[in-house]
Chains A and B, each alone.
Chain A
């Protein structure tokens, strides 16, 4: 399952997608939890009783702002979370 967390508003579309098939039985030791400077990720039991990571609810609504520190206006080459997630479950839409 692809879970998209985030929103679209007048200023743009901002989603972090988690591919739960790659996230269950994480091969990276849940490295994303520590990698994110704002600690936006946490492990939950989803509706199908799998242990996966999601973006915390309050962060979903302020995603563009929360991720802004890792994505300066001048452009960025890599993100701590996507680097930490070696199985490639985490993707950013912007």
Chain B
């Protein structure tokens, strides 16, 4: 699949370098022609940090757009969808059913239904990883979810933490800013060290920040501090997972899947490797939402028939 990445500046900010910026992404499956499709559904996941719009054509993933959420939730939904529609010449009127999810799900003005991000992530992961997916970890911008599901992607156990920044994308952005290193580089750098350090002892990101500065003063290289922080994050995430019970296949969604520094350490602690995916990990929620829409439309169609 060919992925075209477009970097868009979201808002005008002062000229200081923004280390938290991750790559925004829009893609459509050029080998498909949506105009001959029976059912087109759309999922919109508006998060506190990123927003995704996913198009599902006759039950198959067709296209997506992943971008940073601006200050205004309803605009984010519209912008995310417009981004992917522009890529394939679609209009809102071509879409049969829209499902909204995520923090801003109540703010997707054109959605037909809202479904929680828990159910959507499980469904999305089930599509992306197949029906052997049982344990899902999603680390979003401002939350962290641990989900256990069955072979159909139905949730059997979950927890979601959105109270505490530790173990969320924002927690990582804080370190990226502190170290003055772009967020995409944190993972690889955390392995460029002489010896694996202990995790920073503070769970709290605010205190971990001071601890990180102390470690630097004590002679740790930046990479080693990043490694200590990644280890702390991995340990915290594992404790959340263990609360709901970890079973293979283990699937990771959200921005964190792109950070090997945390992913590899989680795998080591669990003794389980995460499943691979070729699809952008951040779209799982919106994808699940679009798939829910597809199932709902099929049921309606079956009733009508």
Contact = CB atoms under 8 A, between A and B. Distances in A.
Interface of A: 1-10, 13, 15, 46-48, 60-62, 93
A4 B243 contact: yes
Given A1-B155, A2-B244, A48-B154, A10 B118 contact: no
A9 B157 contact: no
Given A4-B159, A4-B243, A9 B166 contact: yes
A10 B156 contact: no
Interface of B: 115-116, 118-119, 154-164, 166, 202-204, 207, 236, 239-240, 243-244
B116 A15 contact: no
B45 to A, nearest CB: 14
A7 B157 contact: no
Contact of A1 (B157, B161, B207, B236): B157
Contacts of A13: 239, 243
B119 A48 contact: yes
A72 B301 CA distance: 55
A13 B167 CA distance: 14
Given A7-B161, A8-B239, 15 more contacts: A1-B158, A2-B157, A2-B244, A3-B158, A4-B157, A8-B161, A8-B236, A9-B166, A9-B203, A10-B166, A13-B239, A46-B116, A48-B154, A61-B162, A61-B163
